[in-house]
């Protein structure tokens, strides 16, 4: 995994602009702490920060191929899990591939198939290719959007990078937010609209898309999409297909020249992947290492609720013993969580979900001490329809995204004139309607099944990107790569058309996945009820963020004061608000503290 950046200007010679390119590249040094690279020539400048995972000697970037006097230059972030097959295919076609890196395979795939190369890839990737033969830039992103890629168009220039901070390091990109940007922040929270980056004039290459830019035109092409068709496989065939796809995916994603581990929560998803990976390790006479997260006094503080049924650690130990892993539990306290609250915001360049993101970052920080790569169970709930909302009429019939119904109305804390300008409820409905219009409906499907298909689309295309953003930024902030086998596009395509009732076979969420893991996990682990990502229940955490918020309110220079009703937020921070307390208060204060720091640290100009 790496960080990429660069820009193209058809009206200028950029070969002398290394200082700007280096600033853009330095901004994402954390994504690639092992090496840096630059390529500047005429109208293009490409930068790269490298995290070495495969082929330490042969994968240096930007990678350049020369045809006559023309150069084709690549800066690339990600992994191609089918690169060995592609390498063989390209060699058979006469390509001279000198290294063992997937980077060179990607470059030669472009030389062979031009922009259609992206249709040959199975992996997680974001890349930029400058082709001097056509004076054209190509930007491409993987099927589900695991790897990030942002761009800005400025007066005949295209400026791009893995993270927004890289673009903001270019002198022509200013940190400005307009009405739509603030509506994203307060109306949708961290679950951004695909393609939007909150900052005015900065956009995101959408998942499953590639874009091309030349001097006089540009194009945006969707190369992959979900297609609806009748699922004709019986239950046994479906179970076997899921198992075979996961086995193949895990095997591919274990390829690395650096130490690889897995994340283990004791839940179905991470446990199943750990068991599959552990089997591969044992066959190679190795022991797999696993990591989990816990909190000080978690057992004493635990309270069962709708999202969290029981503690993870007993199940973590059960799975670790069953698979035979070397397990490490990372235990965090409230002080560490609060002290690092703003780090994920700086990683994301946008406010996030607070303590839940902070703990993930701290977990990766510890894992990085022993490894460079990890497998994660992320996205199984989204692609297997594992959330309770899939069978609850209240959410299936809503006119906004279901997760927003649980967050409450952020507009209530905004000043009246800001509320009037942002129109948050209307903004939420419009973004939801846009998503509805994209859905590939199945002809003849009606009633509950049609509603569940719509819900599935929302989670795959609107909620999952947030989860992937969270994991990418939290891990790459520490120079650590996390792979997500459940995001293999072949698996997602297959699952898309499985009826919800079959996914929920045995009257339990993700029942079909539980059956697929039958040969890998004990029955009690397979049928453990879903429990959400853990969160601290320590009262000290809430008290500390309350005090922090009060300090923000008492500082007349706090930029957030121009947006919020101070009296309402003060009530929340003092624990006096009649409707917002406990975990809701904690989440809201986490978010507001991040917004204030974001506005201040990034020196954002608000233009309403």
DSSP β-ladder status, 150-154 and 157-161: antiparallel
Query: Which alpha helices (H) appear in 384-463, and where do they start and end?
Result: 393-396, 402-405, 416-422, 424-438, 447-458
Tell me which residue has tokens 């068991």.
Answer: 275
CA geometry: angle at 608 spanning 174 and 588, to 5°? Answer: 90
Catalytic residue among 2, 250, 418, 545: 2
Q: Is 487 a catalytic residue?
A: no
Q: How far is CA 78 from the centre of its chain?
A: 13
| Length of the chain (residues) | 608
Contact 577, 585 (CB under 8 A): yes
- Per DSSP, what are the bridge partners of residue 289? 326
Rounded Cα distance between 274 and 268, Å, is 10
Element spanning 590, H or E: helix 582-601
Say if residue 62 is preceded by a cis peptide, omega within 30 of 0.
yes
The closest alpha carbon to 220, from 208, 232, 230, belongs to 208
Query: Look-up: residue for tokens 């409820």?
Result: 425
Structural element, H or E, at residue 250: helix 235-253
Residue 278 structure tokens: 């552990």
Chain centre distance of CA 354? 16
Q: How many CA atoms lie within 13 A of 53 on its CB side?
A: 29
Q: 564 forms bridges with which residues in the sheet?
A: 414
Q: Which of 477, 464, 469, 463 is nearest to 346 (CA)?
A: 477
Residue (of 458, 518, 535, 536) closest to 268 by Cα position: 518
The Cα diameter of the chain in Å comes to 73
DSSP 75: E
Determine the 3-state secondary structure of 203 from DSSP: strand
Angle at 283 between CA 278 and CA 286, to 5 degrees: 65
Q: Which residues are catalytic?
A: 2
């Amino acid at each position: 995994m790496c960080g990429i950046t660069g820009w193209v200007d058809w009206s200028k010679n950029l070969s002398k602009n290394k200082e700007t390119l280096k600033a853009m590249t330095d901004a994402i040094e954390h994504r690639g702490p092992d090496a840096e690279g630059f390529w500047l020539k005429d109208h293009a400048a490409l930068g790269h920060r490298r995290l070495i995972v495969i082929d330490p000697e042969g994968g240096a970037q930007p990678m350049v191929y020369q045809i006559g006097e023309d150069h084709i230059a690549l800066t690339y972030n990600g992994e191609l899990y089918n690169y060995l097959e592609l390498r063989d295919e390209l060699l058979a076609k006469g390509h001279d591939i000198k290294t063992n890196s997937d980077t060179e395979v990607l470059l030669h795939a472009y030389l062979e198939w031009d922009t259609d190369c992206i249709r040959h890839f199975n992996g997680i990737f974001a890349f930029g290719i400058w082709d001097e033969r056509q004076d054209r830039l190509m930007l491409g992103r993987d099927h589900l959007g695991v790897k990030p890629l942002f761009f800005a168009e400025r007066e005949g220039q295209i400026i791009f990078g893995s993270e927004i901070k890289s673009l903001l390091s270019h002198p022509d990109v200013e940190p400005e937010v307009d009405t739509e940007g603030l509506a994203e922040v307060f109306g949708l929270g961290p679950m951004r609209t695909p393609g939007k980056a909150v900052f005015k004039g900065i956009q995101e290459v959408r998942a499953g898309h590639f874009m091309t830019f030349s001097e006089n035109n540009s194009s945006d092409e969707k190369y992959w999409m979900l297609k609806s068709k009748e699922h004709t496989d019986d239950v046994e065939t479906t179970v076997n297909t899921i198992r075979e796809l996961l086995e193949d995916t895990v095997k591919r994603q274990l390829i690395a020249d650096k130490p690889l581990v897995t994340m283990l929560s004791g839940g179905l998803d991470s446990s199943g992947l750990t068991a599959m990976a552990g089997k591969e390790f044992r066959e190679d006479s190795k022991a797999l290492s696993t990591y989990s997260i816990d909190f000080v006094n978690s057992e004493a503080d635990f309270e069962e609720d709708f999202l969290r049924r029981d503690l993870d650690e007993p199940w973590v130990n059960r799975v670790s013993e069953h698979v035979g892993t070397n397990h490490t539990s990372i235990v965090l306290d409230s002080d560490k969580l609060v002290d690092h609250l703003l780090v994920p915001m700086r990683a994301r360049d946008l406010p996030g979900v607070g303590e839940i993101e902070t703990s993930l970052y701290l977990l990766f920080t510890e894992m990085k001490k022993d490894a460079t790569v990890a497998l994660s169970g992320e996205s199984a709930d989204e692609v297997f329809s594992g959330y309770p909302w899939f069978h609850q009429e209240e959410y299936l019939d809503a006119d906004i995204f279901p997760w927003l119904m649980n967050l409450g109305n952020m507009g209530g804390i905004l000043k009246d004139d800001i509320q009037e300008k942002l129109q948050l409820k209307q903004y939420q409905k419009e973004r939801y309607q846009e998503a509805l219009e994209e859905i590939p409906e199945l002809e003849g499907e009606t009633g509950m099944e049609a509603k569940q298909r719509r819900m599935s689309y929302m989670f795959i295309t609107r909620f999952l990107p947030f989860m992937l953003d969270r994991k990418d930024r939290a891990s790459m902030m520490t120079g650590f790569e996390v792979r997500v086998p459940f995001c293999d596009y072949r698996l997602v395509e297959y699952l898309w058309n499985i009826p919800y009732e079959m996914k929920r076979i045995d009257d339990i969420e993700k029942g079909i996945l539980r059956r697929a893991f039958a040969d890998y996990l004990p029955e009690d682990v397979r049928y453990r009820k879903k429990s959400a990502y853990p969160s601290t229940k320590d009262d000290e955490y809430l008290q500390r963020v309350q005090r922090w918020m009060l300090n923000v309110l008492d500082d007349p220079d706090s930029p957030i004061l121009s947006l919020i009703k101070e009296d309402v937020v003060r009530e929340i921070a003092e624990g006096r608000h009649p409707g917002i307390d406990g975990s809701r208060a904690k989440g809201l204060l986490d978010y507001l503290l991040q917004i204030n720091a974001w506005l201040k640290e990034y020196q954002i100009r608000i233009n309403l």
